[in-house]
Structure 1
Amino acid sequence: MTSKNKWLMALAGMTLQLSIGSIYAYSVWIKPIELLNGWDAHQLKFAFSLAICFLGLTAAFMGKFVHRVGPKKAGLLGALFFGIGLAGAGLANSIGSLPMFYLFYGVISGIGLGFGYITPVSVVVQWFPDKPGFASGLVIMSFAAGSILASQIISPITASLGVPGTFYALAATYALLMALASLYLAVPAVSTGYVDDHAGGADVSVSELLKDVRFYGLWLMLFFNTTCGIALIAVAAPMAKQVIHISEAGAIVFVGIIGLFNGLGRLIWSSVSDKIGRWSTFMCFYIIGTICFLLLTQTTNAFMFQAAVFIIISCYGGAFATIPAFIKDIYGADKMGSVLGYVLIAWSAAAFTGPWLITLSDNYSMIFYLFAGILAFTAIMAFSLKGRLAKGH
């Protein structure tokens, strides 16, 4: 184990995240699948919601399992589920079965996403004890790079191989890359003292949390922020084509840059939270998000529209990077993993709520007003809870 190279370990972790990051390019799939099988965008968004839901549930509840079986086995499980999920999605498209598509792309690949999400970060960070921020940043940015890459390759491969063939090709490629990367993963022989956010720690009972207003506050703060961000991700390509009338190629680039800002937001906002505090950082998410959604209701300028979406998505990503530290500040490091697991259920709930809300009207401006109102309400709620959410309260 001591012969492992930390840079190759980082590359292995980055490869896992690069593969699963393709989930955030999902909106690029909507048009070709719609043309092939006649499934409309509303039906197709449900598959995305399922995938994110099971990603969140796996991240929330499988941390201790991953810690127990080790990163190699956990990574291989991620490769297996993700590969089978994508291959099954291809088969579902070839025979025109929407329920099968939901099962394979939504549930099975979603579980693979969850294993691939929680496994590499904790491993890579342990190999860089002197630079944990740099190490986690490498892995997180690989997730963003994966969404950018997928958004650029799905359409040309589909034009050549068709929808089912593209799913099969991606299933084989991603599963192979994830499996090879997982075989190299290992924790250092000497403990670095790093605590895995998802590995549990001291158990906190559900009944205890259900009596704690701080838990409700954290859960709702993450839920509402995620709801608004994930709704935009789910419909990014068709939304941009409808509202600002950009080309198919322009929409694909737009989706790719969304992935970039999702990653940048995780890096930048988590660093900002170290300076101004977690509560203040979340207040920034809500205030900035409210302003940006109001701007989206008023502009058809392509640059302004895309810039506002990118800023919202940076806040979406930033919340995921900041919430573990927020929980640690309030509950302590020993309870952080357990509480984080329950708070992350908000991610799964938002995966359905956001894409559903954005289908309530064909007029995107009305939906943007709704999201602005949601974030404004959340800011008021967070302000009322400021005293209870103070560090060490």
Structure 2
Amino acid sequence: MALSGMTLQLSIGSIYAYSVWIKPLESMNGWDAHQLKLAFSLAICFLGLTAAFMGNFVNRIGPKKAGLFGAAFFGAGLAGAGLASSIGSLPLFYLTYGVISGIGLGFGYITPVSVVVKWFPDKPGFASGLVIMSFAAGSVLASQIISPIAAMAGVSNTFYLLAACYFTLMVVASLYLAVPASGSSVAVDDGHSGGSSVPASALLSDTRFYGLWLMLFFNTTCGIALIAVAAPMAKDIIHISDAAAIVFVGIIGLFNGVGRLIWSSVSDKIGRWNTFMCFFIVGSACFFILSLTPAAWLFYVAVLVIISCYGGAFATMPAFIKDIYGADKMGSVLGYVLIAWSAAAFAGPWLITLTDDYTPIFTGFAGILFATAVMAYVLKGKLKIDAVKPAAKTKILTEEVIS
């Protein structure tokens, strides 16, 4: 089961290798980097929107069919991107790579997370980290194969080839997705991938939801900003070569993935609230270090720590939601919380390109994360439910009513 979820995440995780496409597409069609960044933002935007507003649909059709929908949309989006690049149509590229593949990302992201966590009720952080780590691993793999294939077969043919490969992998993985049967010793479920649904109107009156949403939004905004400009930023600040910058991007993908597994596993030990406080405080300190234009080795350390916290937040959030709302509502609530990712996909890249001087931007991000830590501390009573003793926690979750 975990392997199926990891395969889905590995496939759609190639979206994080998007920067590798920019130079070949620029050379082929003359589209500039600013135009092309919009396709990436659209894809992440529709990932979050799909996860949020298709939650009830996913609940009704179950994990297998939801995974197959993800495979169809993601494969069609990549194939359409190949067609768009071959005829030089930027609007079609936005529609296919941005919107259509983004919908596939939404189905492919939330379905395996909500299913696999239910098979590991005692270690939800580890379970979500294991699956979501594969999302980052997919970016590392894709970043290493896209350029060589494009050099041999051409950009459009590379899109077609990847579309076929990822579609096949996602279909096979989806066929093995299943929730624990009702009455199983592993977990009790209603037979669907996301459990019972929580209406958006109920969440909009729940302080806990706003706290989770804002924590993910601010952490993601700061982290995704670095991912969006990793290569040129490193060349500008520590003056590395183009080849070294490509290696650096790959290492970022590695830390994004490893951070997801490590931090989510740590959260099983110290609690979700404490883990998120680490993200904000450590991240704020690292951004402050970056604002001082540090030596190369310290630059690398600060960036990679920030990226590990960025990835760790995604892997820890499903378990955080499970602790607060229960396993049966996790998939539904997670979908709405992931809208924060959609918003951050525009906010982060936009903020970091406001000026050519990174110093004020890094200082600003340090301030944002510190302020988020203060906000989380104020909400401590609402968000620290995972620190309650197991017996008491069960009672709280049973009696909890969203008001």
TM-score bin, normalised by smaller chain: 0.7 to 0.9
Pair 291,81 (structure 1): closer, same or farther in 2 beyond 3 Å: same
Q: TM-score, normalised by structure 1?
A: 0.88
1:220 paired residue among 197, 214, 222: 214
Partner residue in 2 for 1:295 = 289
2:198 paired residue among 203, 212, 221: 203
- For 1:214 and 1:133, how far apart are their aligned partners in 2? 19
Q: Is the 8 A contact 2:267 2:275 kept in 1?
A: yes
Matched, 1:230 2:228: no
Partner residue in 2 for 1:61 = 53
Range 76-85 or range 294-303, more displaced: 294-303
Range 222-231 or range 133-142, more displaced: 133-142
Q: Offset at 1:312?
A: 0.8
Q: Is the 8 A contact 2:113 2:128 kept in 1?
A: yes
Matched, 1:92 2:87: no
2:233 paired residue among 211, 219, 239: 239
1:112 paired residue among 92, 99, 104: 104
When the two structures are aligned, how many residues end up with a matched partner? Answer: 384
1:113-161 alpha-carbon deviations (Å, 9 max, x no partner): 1111123344445666787666545433322221111111111122222
Q: Is the 8 A contact 2:252 2:304 kept in 1?
A: yes
Residues 1-393 of structure 1: pairs in structure 2 closer than 5 A: 9-124=1-116, 136-187=128-179, 191=184, 192-193=186-187, 199-201=194-196, 203-206=198-201, 208-299=202-293, 301-333=295-327, 335-391=329-385
- For 2:378 and 2:123, how far apart are their aligned partners in 1? 36
* Structure 1 counterpart of 2:336, one-letter code: Y
1:236-284 alpha-carbon deviations (Å, 9 max, x no partner): 2332233333333322222222222222222222222233332222221
Q: TM-score, normalised by structure 2?
A: 0.86
- For 1:158 and 1:242, how far apart are their aligned partners in 2? 27
- For 2:60 and 2:335, how far apart are their aligned partners in 1? 16
Q: Offset at 1:93?
A: 1.7
Pair 279,246 (structure 1): closer, same or farther in 2 beyond 3 Å: same
* Structure 2 counterpart of 1:69, one-letter code: I
Partner residue in 1 for 2:390 = none
Q: Offset at 1:73?
A: 2.0
SS in 2 for 1:199: coil
Q: Offset at 1:336?
A: 4.0
Q: Offset at 1:178?
A: 1.7
- For 1:336 and 1:127, how far apart are their aligned partners in 2? 14
- For 1:262 and 1:369, how far apart are their aligned partners in 2? 22
Q: Is the 8 A contact 2:14 2:141 kept in 1?
A: yes
Pair 241,87 (structure 1): closer, same or farther in 2 beyond 3 Å: farther
Q: Is the 8 A contact 1:82 1:113 kept in 2?
A: yes
* Structure 1 counterpart of 2:194, one-letter code: A
1:37-77 alpha-carbon deviations (Å, 9 max, x no partner): 23222222111111111111222233332232233222221
SS in 2 for 1:47: helix
SS in 1 for 2:198: coil
Pair 30,367 (structure 1): closer, same or farther in 2 beyond 3 Å: farther
Q: Offset at 1:303?
A: 2.9
- For 2:209 and 2:170, how far apart are their aligned partners in 1? 35
Q: Is the 8 A contact 1:14 1:138 kept in 2?
A: yes
Q: Offset at 1:330?
A: 3.8
* Structure 2 counterpart of 1:313, one-letter code: I
Q: Offset at 1:316?
A: 1.2
Q: Is the 8 A contact 1:47 1:102 kept in 2?
A: yes
Q: Is the 8 A contact 1:279 1:386 kept in 2?
A: yes
Query: Unaligned 5+ residue runs, structure 2?
Result: 386-395
Q: Is the 8 A contact 1:15 1:177 kept in 2?
A: yes
Range 92-101 or range 130-139, more displaced: 130-139
* Structure 1 counterpart of 2:213, one-letter code: W
Query: Unaligned 5+ residue runs, structure 1?
Result: 1-8
- For 1:128 and 1:367, how far apart are their aligned partners in 2? 40
- For 1:323 and 1:38, how far apart are their aligned partners in 2? 40
SS in 2 for 1:70: helix
* Structure 1 counterpart of 2:318, one-letter code: P
- For 2:279 and 2:43, how far apart are their aligned partners in 1? 25
Q: Percentage identity across aligned positions?
A: 78
1:311-331 alpha-carbon deviations (Å, 9 max, x no partner): 111111221222233334444
- For 1:109 and 1:350, how far apart are their aligned partners in 2? 18
Q: Offset at 1:81?
A: 0.8
